[in-house]
Structure 1
Amino acid sequence: MANRAFLAAGTALAALTTPVLAQNTSISAPAAAPAPVSQLVKAVDIPYQQFTLKNGLRVIVHTDRKAPIVAVSVWYDVGSKHEPQGKTGFAHLFEHLMFNGSENAPGDFFEPLQQVGATDFNGTTYYDRTNYFETVPTAALERALFLESDRMGYLTGAITQSVLDEQRGVVQNEKRQGDNQPYGLLRYKATEGLFPATHPYGHTTIGSMVDLDQASLGDVKNWFKSHYGPNNAVLVLAGDVDVATARPLVEKYFGAIAAGPKSVAPPAPIPASLPGPAKEVMKDRVAATLIMKEWAVPGLNDKDSASLEVAAGVLGGLASSRLSNVLVKGEKLAVQAQAEYESFAQVGTFQITTLVRPGVDPATVSARIDQLVADFVRNGPTADEVNRYVTSTVSGRIDGLEAVGGFGGKAVALAEGALYSNDPGFYKKQLAALAAQTPATVKAAAAKWLTRPSYQLDIVNGDRDAYAESKAVPPAKVVEAPEQAPKGTRGPIPAVGEVAGLSFPTVERTRLSNGIELVYANRAVVPITQAVLSFDAGVAADVADKLGTQQLTLAMMDEGTKRLNSIQIAEARERLGASISSGSSADRTTLSLRVPSANLAAGADLWADIARTPAFPESELGRVKSQQLAEIAQELTSPQGLVQRVLPKLVSPGSPYAKAQGSGDAAAVQGLSRAELIAFQQAWLRPDKAKIFVVSDRPLAEIRQVMEARFGDWKPAGVAGAKSFPPASSSVSPRIVLVDRPASPQSMIAAGVQTGLKGTDDLLPLQVGNDALGGSFLGRLNMDLREDKHWSYGVRGSFSRNAEAAPYVLYAPVQADQTGPAVAALRSDVTQYLTSKPMTQEEFARAINAGTRSLSGNFETSEDVLSAMQANDLYKRPDDYYATITQKYRALTLPQVTAATRAAIDPAKFVWVVVGEAAKVKPQLDSLGLPVEVIPAAAVAGTPPATAAK
């Protein structure tokens, strides 16, 4: 389900890295000559053809022969805006029900999709639509069309009371999982505050617990019959397909489905209007006060839509946005500030969200936001601000359209245009409207809509307010006749033809004058260059008694260079449509560049300047520290954040990998000096520890010339850092560490065990073996806790693959009242898999089929290729590893896979971490036969100092 949230589940506060330096600086930005926006817009083109079946199904076909794959995307004109009162959450519930099999394809839909090697397969629901999508090998297109048509036309016979109860439970745990996050109740309150309850957009897509509980089998079947006919849908096929091939297949599988009623969105005041300004305050266990101001504005088909998008970008979407420059960097009133325009088919929302800096009066911040909005309404943006936002946005969309499907590829662009605007090519009109924006048009839209009454919600720290969703009533008991398997009438699911092998691009290696290795692959699908400067550092290189040093060093890298201050860096990046970001894994620290190839030279100049000459300005260090301290505090309120701080220390004691404890130690971060950051940078982020990875449409000779000019004369200074990996500890004692987090409707369960393996070992047999345990949706852990018991929204287990270790870890968020039974079930499932109930031949065949048939889809985009190049280098595999992996898969045997899995995982040695409400959870854990240690959430990491950084 698509869901909007200021802080995503388990995600730490985003670090904003463009501060203001002293006034009257004499530093000037370099003269760059970026490609004009008009040139970038011309690069966005998705040619298509379309036809409509007699039953009303609209079909759109886009041909893209870059890989032997086809994206299949079905969009239904039904979302939460179509739900009457008392039926909220039905559209989303049906999204789940339609994955549970149909009359001619009984059982879970993930089974036949995984068998064919489908990638990017999922479904989502939002206010305006429900969609289902998968990218399949060309040879599996007929099977995908059979499956999609069967759930469109032959579903209701497969919906039984047990299926309804199962998926109702899953959806309710998805809801609990969202509610369990810091600020997790924001969207409920904000939706109620901005729209009346009777408004089509007046309730959230996830719906009401009570409505979900009361949904009867008759209700849901009638809902399906009213909304899921072919005349209420758009089918997009994008990829290795053409109309001549597609039309007879679509006619064959969809043509006999009878038309149904056409969804009509209820009439609505568009946009809704508040009678006057409104404000509410909500209490929650949060690390920082959140202030959200929101306006109801027009939707995506309105003439003001592009202007409002630019207004949000200039105010709070760019790295150099006004809210960030003033509130975060200049006046230091907030640790994060952003603005967003979200456009729906009939309405839109304009939202400003700010996290108040600890110690600052929220009223002061609120008043300052109002002043900044008023100034923007009065004076509008500058031409440069408009251009920077449009250039950045168009660049990002070019990059995103490399994929044919998934959550944001070309099929999505065509489907959205057709469904929301009756024009598959509407994306072109949107880009043209963006490119045509001027300061005057943006100012006019802001003056028209941001002077209307707004709704404000403040979320402050305190015991969470009681809310209706925590008081769900049990569903009414239903007496139903014995369930029978649906009887199919369409014959068997189509077989899959010969799946074409992966054509992985040739990887070439060369060196710069100073020895830096350049690893390159050519991809000419989109005019974008992606590059990564990768250093042999990572979390394992963090300073043991000053955890968080690496993160603070990276956060300061683009706070200014010897030539540029941070504002100039941000603005130059935006003018080029470039993205420059830093990151780290357990073993590597990276500085990445994505830029339109037309702007490669100027983008590489900026990238190299940040990498080679960071200034670490003392004037900005205090502010950046305060942001990292806020991030640490946020992690102590998040279930995932708490787990990530506790589990590595238990699983890998004494290992450098145990340093992976969130954003570091608060006391250590507070005490770090500029000199210590420079020392870390010089020891680890240096040319003799660097490799450059590039995927581009430009030839290697040009790429090497660009890199040589920027990095070829870079020399290391001082002594290089060194990592030491002692033998893995064998003294880890199995136990449960219960982190007490009161008022948690869910418990986050995590566990880990050392395997004695390294990431450089051949783990392919183990990855195949894990597919049936925790590595896929159909894995036994997920199927047990989600599909059979419906205690969880999803469970996963995997080998955490680092260069020098590969522990097995699993994660399972479960409803609080089933925490103990869930741990018992997980222990039983793992033990049985490794002893009495090993992988079956059917599970083995499915894993091999999925692994080999999904290769073309897995490496569809340049980003996929770039990641694979880095992984091959880290794990010391040959550059053609993926070009030859099919033979490796086919050489495996079931006994070999079973033996490898049993040898790696000892079910008796797992260490468990549970984050939940101790008063409710501990009694459930005490009967499991493991010692239980209870610690408060506040004790997980160092407590931030009482005074915020200056």
Structure 2
Amino acid sequence: MKRALAGALMFAAVLSGCATSSTSTTSQERPATVDELLDGVEIPYERFTLDNGLTVLVHEDRKAPIVAIAAWYNVGSKDEPEGQAGFAHLFEHIMLFNGTEHIPNLIEPLREMGATNWNGTTWFDRTNYFQTVPTPALERGLYIESERMGYLLGALTQERLDAQRGIVQNEKRQGDNQPYGMTFYRILERLFPEGHPYRHSTIGSMADLDDASLEEVRQWFRDNYAPNNAVIVLAGDINVAEARPLMERYFAQIPRGPVNTPAAADIPTLSARIDDTMHDRVANTRLYRTWVVPGLAHDDTLELDVAAQVLGGLNSSRLDRILVRDEQSAVSVSSSVLPFQRVSMFFVTVDVKPGVDPAAVSARLDQIVAEYIAAGPTEDEIQRVATQQVFASVLSIEQVGGFNGKTVALANSAVIAGDPNFYERNLRAYGRITPAAVREVMGRWLTRPTYALRVDPGAREPYQEASATGRPAPDNRPPTAQPRDPMPEIGAIADLDFPDVQRAHLRNGIEVVYARRTAVPITYVAFDFDAGVSADPQGAFGTQRLMLSTMTSGAGGRDAMNIAEQQERLGATIGANGSLDRSALTLTTLSANLALSLDLFADVVQRPDFEAREVARERDQQLAAIATEGTQPNGLAQRTFPALVFGADHPYGRPSSGLGSQASVLPLTRDNLVAFHQTWIRPETARVFVVSDRPLNEITRALNARFGGWQGAAAPVGQKNFDAPIPAARSRIVIVDRPQSPQSVIYAGAVLPIRGSEDTLTINAANEVLGSNFLSRINTEIRERRGWSYGLSGVLSLRENQVPYIINAPVQADRTGDSIRVLIEQINAFNSTNGVSASEHVRTINGNIRQLPGSFETAGAVLGALRSNQLYRRADNYWESVASRYRAMNAADMDAAARAVIDPSRFVWVVVGDASLVRPQLEGLGLAIEVVPAS
């Protein structure tokens, strides 16, 4: 479904147990060293191989009654021959969503058994499928995975191929439709010569997808998806003695197939620097510098990764300090290594500040890079990179599965690097890297000619669309099936045991809401203030957002770079963000460094400097972000919709991004930010939430030492006004004209007579059938049956006060009108004669009960539940109580809840797309149409 970056977990690590430290939480002289943080880092696993060649890795983790299943195949887009660009990704969709010889729809049993974190991804080097299941459903999960591997071809029909082909082409349109969405294709074409396995993108070409015949696709499966070309990782509530007989039962009968030897690929070098220019409907010029460098397991790749992080990956990076903060010629920078099996790509990007000469910034970028290559990083910079890698790894692998997790660390290491221990070896190697080694490796690889791409604002180059004709003649052979036992039954699944919630108060009255999780040595702290975007002064929208971003740019006499560097040394992240209802300051830190992290956090929360130069710089950044939001399809929809349904004067009648407008942000000064902070960011509006491996008394003592004496300003406490009348519903279509859009984004809905603090369990269950679940009526009809979209949904967008129902549907441009018509038909049918069916009721109720253990596997998920329970006035044991309420919920209850409030005759339809193409499609819908320009 998603094209994930295989290299994201390149250096992932896992803690087999909770690290301990004698460091006091109220006094700490130095950060823990990388070696201290790495003590005990490993993922113990056992390995066995079936007679058919299937490799199985098993990691035992009994923290929750769940097991992650991850099947990784040694095939990706680099293995595609000429004329089949996109086959690996297309087949990922076929294997993930289509039925098999014994299961008509693979997603339905996953949903009914409560699977979480399920998906599939394709990248240049591998294809994978994964799901986390309750332990009593493990056998069913393995049965489903074995169906993909051994019992798929008999069920692959022309109709199913065509459906997934259309979905994949809409996934491509959705990515291409974004700002800078076409640049990666150009970069690959310029860096790699004709015939190189990495020259074409994983998403593929429209022409090759058009031409894919059923027999070609079937042969692709036969050649690549055999058990001897796969690794399956099981992680969680299981051991190897339990796993082996299950794997034998469900996979041993699948025969071996051809061995896929991954396509060989050299590391190309450009003969001379290439300077290139593209145009796109973007807000600012973006500069790229790209080199092809060695692959994942090469000896130089770790040093190149460190080089990239120091140059533009850390918050304190060289490029950030020079171009963004000191010279203020750029609004954002980045640098990273994108690692593959045979090669990697070293990327540098710079978004030029509007109004600054891009040519001058380009020349300055080249000078900075050249000086950095010659001088190399410092020891302190390398140690900060190492600490951040440990921190990021601990966070990512708290889960047993999913897009990150332990299964990914093991499987990626085994399939791409050939060694399941690769992740651990690399992580430990960070602490041994020297400045001289990084300098030497940069001199070897980054002094070669670079590909320098510049993307300027303007009309896009011509876009390649799918062909309306010319597809292969249908192959109408009927489905066949091999004999097999039916799916195993699911055992009894215990109700959720949510962590006990404890409460305490600091000396100044701030309430602490706490839960303990000991799986990893991480502490999460969130200060939620009763403010948010809805607290922005009328006419000064964007004040809250600018205040929050400036808080982390200087506090307690520390400047922005000092704050960034200290976080990196500690393995900590301080965030400042606002929702519509709350402003939040958050800290996530390695618990070994909790005391020093809280010292830094206390400065940011209580003592922001709001230094005038930083205010001006952050204001320019926000103005650039506003311009960028105005080029993004979803950004335009979300800027347009709120005022239409809530009214411009309502606190919810503004975009949830909180960016404001050019007119409202430009006049903001330091005084505005200080006033907002004094009015809203204060003990009287605060509540602090903590999830940690440390006990509550220790946490409370540490917080009291830093926040217990904090007193609010003399200014009155802020009060939000929700008395502004909401305009009467008037159904109509507003087209936001965005020329050259291969997709239209439909963003529609209405305000419901519901508050977020009311009980929404039943209506949300009903809406899973209608709109919010992958198997929902609207997604099934428009994505799966018609292939007009990569995916769409309708959701109750919970707010503390009044809640809107919002449909978000990106659809191919030539089906915009048809999609709106189908959406209306589906909702009206649901509201009249075609309510929740018996099978939908069983699937929804069972799935919601059974998914609870997997939903709160991580400390971050528990923290989110604590915060949402408070915001929506739920009891601390809310999530433990929902299972019994689901069991008592019948289909009639669900129908009544949805029909009482979801009414498409009240919807406002915002369509972001090419008005010249879209408007004629909408004329026959019987709704008033207005066209407004994209801004």
Q: TM-score, normalised by structure 2?
A: 0.96
Q: Deviations over 1:167-215 (max 9, x none)?
A: 0000000000011111010110011111113111111000000000000
Deviations 1:747-773 (A, max 9, x none): 000111121000100000011101111
> Counterparts of 1:107-126 in structure 2 under 5 Å?
107-126=104-123
1:794 to partner: Cα distance: 0.2
For 1:24, the equivalent position in structure 2 comes to none
The residue number in structure 2 matching 1:776 is 773
The match for 2:38 is 41
Tell me the percent identity. Answer: 48
Partner of 2:346: 350
1:559 and 2:553 are equivalent in the alignment: yes
- Counterpart position of 1:310: 306
The corresponding residue for 1:25 is none
**Do the aligned partners of 1:104 and 1:491 also contact (CA within 8 Å) in 2?**
no
Residue in structure 2 matching 1:658, options 635, 638, 653: 653
Match of 1:443 in 2: 439
Q: Could you say what secondary structure the match of 2:728 adopts?
A: coil
Deviations 1:396-452 (A, max 9, x none): 101111000000000000001111122111111110121211111111111111101
| Alpha-carbon distance in structure 2 between the residues aligned to 1:846 and 1:62 | 30
Q: Deviations over 1:364-405 (max 9, x none)?
A: 111111111111111111111111111111111011110000
The match for 1:12 is none
Q: Is the 8 A contact 1:518 1:694 kept in 2?
A: yes
1:675-714 correspondence runs (5 A): 675-714=671-710
Q: Aligned match of 2:543 in 532, 541, 549?
A: 549
Equivalent of 1:152, from 149, 152, 167? 149
The alpha-carbon deviation at position 553 of structure 1 amounts to 0.6
Match for 2:655: what amino acid? Answer: A
Q: Is 1:275 aligned to residue 271 of structure 2?
A: yes
Q: Which amino acid aligns with 1:864?
A: A
Q: Which residue of 1 aligns with 2:783?
A: 786
1:77-226 aligned within 5 A:
77-226=74-223
User: Does 1:385 find its partner at 2:381?
Assistant: yes
Output the CA distance in 2 between the equivalents of 1:684 and 1:553: 11
Q: Deviations over 1:190-242 (max 9, x none)?
A: 11111113111111000000000000000000000000000000000000011
Give yes or no for the alignment of 1:516 onto 2:513: no
Matches within 5 A, 1:459-538: 459-467=455-463, 469-470=464-465, 472=467, 474-481=469-476, 484-538=478-532
Contact kept in structure 1, 2:98 and 2:160, CA below 8 Å: no
Quickly say closer, same or farther: Cα 1:812–1:756, change in 2 above 3 A.
same
Distance 1:667 1:421 in 2: 52
Mapping for residues 889-904 of structure 1, pairs under 5 Å: 889-904=886-901
1:601 is aligned to: 595
CA contact (8 A) 2:116 2:132 kept: yes
Cross-structure match for 2:915: 918
Letter aligned with residue 263 of structure 1: N
Q: Which position in structure 2 is the counterpart of 1:249?
A: 246
Contact 1:99 1:108 in 2 (8 A): no
Tell me whether 1:726 sits opposite 2:720 in the alignment: no
Counterpart of 2:278, as a letter, is: M
C-alpha separation in 2, matches of 1:100 and 1:381? 47
Secondary structure of the residue aligned to 1:754 is strand
Measure, in 2, the Cα distance between the counterparts of 1:746 and 1:51.
47
The superposition leaves residues 72-107 of structure 1 with CA deviations (integer Å, 9 ceiling, x where unpaired) of: 000000000100110000000000000234444332
Q: After alignment, is 541-550 or 400-409 more displaced? A: 541-550
Following superposition, the deviation at residue 470 of structure 1 comes to: 3.1
Letter matched to residue 382 of structure 2: V
Structure 1 residues 474, 435: CA separation in 2 closer, same or farther (over 3 Å shift)?
farther
CA contact (8 A) 2:265 2:343 kept: no
Deviation string 1:645-682 (CA, Å, 9 cap, x unpaired) is 01111121242111225411111111101101110111
Task: State the 1:474 CA deviation.
Answer: 3.0
| Aligned residues of 1:553 and 1:677 also touching (Cα < 8 A) | yes
**How far is the alpha carbon of 1:491 from its aligned partner?**
2.2
Residue identity opposite 1:293 in structure 2: R
* Aligned 8 A contact 1:278 1:454 in 2: yes
Partner letter of residue 170 of structure 2?
A: N
The answer to whether structure 1 residue 341 and structure 2 residue 331 are counterparts is: no
**What residue in structure 2 maps to residue 18 of structure 1?**
none
Structure 2: any 5+ residue segments left out of the alignment? 6-26
Aligned-partner Cα distance in 1 for 2:123–2:283: 29
- Provide TM-score, normalisation by structure 1: 0.95
Q: Distance in 2 between matches of 1:190 and 1:891?
A: 56
The answer to whether the 8 Å contact 2:95/2:152 transfers is: yes
Alpha-carbon distance between aligned partners in 2 of 1:618 and 1:3, rounded to the nearest angstrom: 42
Which is further off, 486-495 or 913-922?
486-495
| 2:928 corresponds to which of 903, 928, 931 | 931
| 1:453 is aligned to 2:440 | no
Aligned length: 912
Query: Deviation at 1:485?
Result: 4.3
Paired position in structure 2 for 1:421: 417
| SS, match of residue 706 in structure 1 | helix
**What code does the residue aligned with 2:666 have?**
Q
Instruction: For 2:729, give the aligned amino acid.
Output: V
Amino acid at match of 1:414: L
Residue of 420, 426, 430 corresponding to 1:430: 426
User: Quick one: which amino acid aligns to residue 242 of structure 1?
Assistant: N
- State the shift of 1:44 in Å: 2.4
Note if contact 1:650-1:732 (Cα within 8 Å) is conserved in structure 2. Answer: no
Query: Closer, same or farther in 2 for the Cα pair 1:704/1:479, shift >3 Å?
Result: closer
Asked if structure 2 preserves the Cα contact closer than 8 Å seen for 1:100 and 1:163, the reply is no
Q: CA deviation at 1:729?
A: 2.4
- Mapped partners of 2:289, 2:908: distance in 1: 44
Q: Distance in 1 between matches of 2:743 and 2:246?
A: 45
- More displaced, 811-820 or 490-499? 490-499
Q: CA 1:291–1:67 in structure 2 vs 1: closer, same or farther (change >3 Å)? A: same
**Secondary structure in 1 aligned to 2:811?**
strand
> Would the aligned equivalents of 2:400 and 2:406 in 1 still touch at CA under 8 Å?
yes
- Between the aligned partners of 2:57 and 2:625, the Cα distance in structure 1 is 45
- AA paired with 1:424? P
1:610 aligns with 2:604: yes
Residues 868 and 43 (structure 1), Cα distance of their counterparts in 2 relative to 1, 3 Å cut: farther
* AA matched with 2:187: A
Which stretch has the larger CA shift, 724-733 or 424-433?
A: 724-733
Please say if 1:259 is aligned against 2:253. no
CA contact (8 A) 1:104 1:493 kept: no
Which one is further off, 38-47 or 337-346? 38-47
Matches of 1:42 and 1:147, distance apart in 2: 38
CA distance in 1, matches of 2:466, 2:857: 46
Structure 1 gaps of 5+ residues are 6-29, 939-950
Residue of structure 2 in register with 1:835 after alignment? 832
Paired residue for 2:225?
228
Q: Is the 8 A contact 2:556 2:604 kept in 1?
A: no
In the TM superposition, what is the alpha-carbon distance from 1:727 to its structure 2 partner? 7.0
The answer to whether residue 319 in structure 2 is matched with residue 323 in structure 1 is yes
